[in-house]
Amino acid sequence: MRITSVQNPAVKHCVKLRTSGSYRRQTGSALLVGQDLVEEVAGSGASVAALVGLDGSPLPDIPAQRYVAVSEAVMAKLAGLESVSRGALAAEVALPPPADLLSLPPGALSRVLVLDGVQDPGNLGTLLRTALALGWQAAVLLPGCCDPFNDKALKASRGAAFRLPVAQHTVEEWERLLTVQSLVPLAAEPDRCAGSSGASSRAAGDARAAGVSAVAGPAPGGQQDAQQGQPEQPPRQQQLGPVGSLGEAQARLAALRLCLCLGAEGQGVSAAVRRRCRSVSIPQPGEMESLNAAAAGSVLMFALSAGAVPLLADLAALPHAD
């Protein structure tokens, strides 16, 4: 199929997929723009209804129901840009079904990201991408969050919402999930991320009270168990080092099942969520007042993930400069 007019009904359909969340939900489809994003999502097994490339340019080897060649003007219309490069690519793909986290057996989840009223698509997308990269098993979007299949969110997440189980829950449903999965809820508090020693010491005290005085990662089983609905295996016995060592910190935190809650930038989580959570914050010895939601959430997710302690151990072993 070849399309050269921006008034073509198929073009209008794709533009509406890019710009309207209600239309995406109605049709069960989303529009991906950009070769890297299309290849990433298609490689994850998403069903591609239409693969769209520029007329005269070869299409990548991606299975699709339809292959469409379009003019540069049409591709620019699809992408919402004034112009496009010769390698431009777009695709209509089926949305994944919402994750049914409440049906998972107890013990299936140990690291869950919860976003509460995060409306900035760049922040939301970055947080989902980070969660997927660090092995977090699922994400919960509470009321007030933007659509994870929004054009900007998709670009920021690199299509993470197609691979990371994402559920949309009410606060009451999230509270049920906490109970079923025995999750310890932590809330990132942006107003507590100041660089003062007082803020840092209070944060450390809260972290100790929450049982997160150090960093570690999820118990064995990880994301694959959550997607398959299987409970994780119990943590293996670990050889602990001296009290206060990185090894002990990792073992203690790995045994905890955690839920990290992040709210809108500058506001934090809602009062209903805050009531259920222990506050955590990032000590900031520098002179910047605060981090944005995506940066703060990424730092905290890494601190609670499997890679943090090994990285600290490697850095601690670096030789001193002469």
The pLDDT tens digits of the residues spanning 59-106 come to 999 999 999 999 999 999 999 998 888 889 999 999 999 999 999 999
Mean pLDDT computed over every residue of the chain: 83
Tokens of 229: 């609905």
Helix (H) or strand (E) holding 76: helix 72-79
Tokens of 14: 């794709």
Q: What angle do CA 155, 1, 35 make, to 5 degrees?
A: 20
- Are 2 and 56 in contact, with CB atoms under 8 Å apart? no
Q: How far apart, in Å, are the Cα atoms of 57 and each of 54, 129, 244? A: 5, 30, 59
Question: Which stretches does DSSP call E strand in 161-312?
Answer: 166-168, 184-188, 258-263, 278-280
The pLDDT tens digits of the residues spanning 265-300 come to 778 899 999 999 999 888 877 877 778 889 989 999
* Cα–Cα distance for residue pair 240/163, rounded to 1 Å: 34
The pLDDT tens digits of the residues spanning 17-72 come to 999 999 999 999 999 999 999 999 999 999 999 999 999 899 999 999 999 999 99
Closest C-alpha among 89, 77, 87, 98 to residue 42: 89
Confidence of residue 131 (pLDDT cuts 50, 70, 90): very high
Q: Would you give the DSSP letter of residue 236?
A: P
More confident residue, 254 or 46: 46
